[in-house]
Structure 1
């Protein structure tokens, strides 16, 4: 029995977004499994590979939160992915939106600015989420949000972000949060490599707590 394609335009945009992103595997070389694992490792969202296949085929449409997560993985505008049009926001603000993952990039940029540094967003989001000048030193940051799973806080760090300083952010609720520097020697020593990311736990090491951006890291 032929599968009914209910959302052909959405399926077409899913394909277009993949073709424009060199980090996404080719169609017949593990793309569906890669997306399934990306959703789980980055956001704690568990779906079946068959569900991912249905999204790409246009047979079903993802719910809003999952669609936003898919757009972040693809590094495209979620309004474009959903409706085929971009959000009606200024170019500068759209760059901020595209660079941010769950708001943590904007949070770190604001903290750096409050502490007297100069943050800037890259033209294209990728392995570097944020650049900043702090006390005359230039830094490139990859920023990852801690996700709780099985009682452990986990961070997903892109393997190809090796040249960036990795900051792990944990939101504790009530506007409380913690920021840790995840050093690469420890990441590669204790991390589990999975689908282009190193997965590390907060309990894996005595990660350095970042309490100010008023001084060099």
Structure 2
């Protein structure tokens, strides 16, 4: 059972007993810090665009939310998914299983101090995601000039939170 848990990259307790772990196999301390930094960066960009942000309380039932944002007089629950590079120019995002209840923003680190941000629509997660215990993994292709693709669909890159992000959230 332990070997199977390792092979599937899921928590042993979840696989054997259905017990949801506090942190899944991928979210080791360094990964948690990186995702927290990405959430802080996105909150900063939203504030620079004139929006307002709040972080959920530690004991809040909506633990899948990383940032609450108000843009265009609308509050949104945001879940941040940091890309993990894979072989052959692919990227893996581990997103919350509650992705239908929030807006998922995929963050790709492109260099020291630079990131690209994409809205990952729930329909693509539903169609192409793989359940991995407390999260769902989705693999994207980094086509550089063409952008990030999931299942042949190009993700919307966030260039300006005030216009791009607000427009993508109104759909």
TM-score (norm 2): 0.70
Deviations 1:143-184 (A, max 9, x none): 010001223211011112421100000011132210000000
2:130 equivalent to 1:144? no
Map of 1:103-114 to 2, 5 A cutoff? Answer: 103-114=37-48
Label 1:29 to 1:69 Cα distance change in 2 as closer, same or farther (>3 A). Answer: farther
In structure 1, the partner of 2:65 is: 128
Runs of 5+ unmatched residues, structure 1: 1-23, 43-65, 73-96
Find the residue that maps to 1:214 and give its secondary structure: helix
SS of 1:107's equivalent? Answer: helix
After the TM superposition, which of the residue ranges 138-147 and 204-213 deviates more from structure 2? Answer: 204-213
Deviations 1:191-216 (A, max 9, x none): 12221322112222311111111131
- Runs (5+) with no aligned partner, structure 2: 1-11, 142-149
**Larger relative contact order (C-alpha < 8 A, sep ≥ 6)?**
2
Q: Is residue 197 of structure 1 aligned with residue 131 of structure 2? A: no
Equivalent residues of 1:118, 1:134 under 8 A apart? yes
Q: Confirm whether residue 39 of structure 1 aligns to residue 25 of structure 2.
A: yes
- Of Structure 1 and Structure 2, which has the larger fraction of its residues in helix? 1
Q: Which residue of 2 aligns with 1:214?
A: 162
| Higher gyration radius (CA) | 1
SS at match of 1:187: helix
**How far is 1:31 from its partner?**
5.5
CA contact (8 A) 1:145 1:168 kept: yes
1:130 Cα deviation from its structure 2 partner: 0.4
Return the structure number with greater strand share.
2
Answer whether contact 2:128 2:138 (CA < 8 A) is retained. Answer: yes
Normalising by structure 1, report the TM-score: 0.56
- Cα displacement (A) at 1:25: 5.4
Cα distance change of structure 1 residues 192 and 146 upon mapping to structure 2, 3 Å threshold: same
1:119 aligns with 2:53: yes
Q: Retained in 1: the 8 A contact 2:106–2:119?
A: yes
Aligned pairs (5 A) from 1:64-79: 66=28, 68-69=29-30, 72=32
| CA distance in 2 between partners of 1:141 and 1:103 (Å) | 14
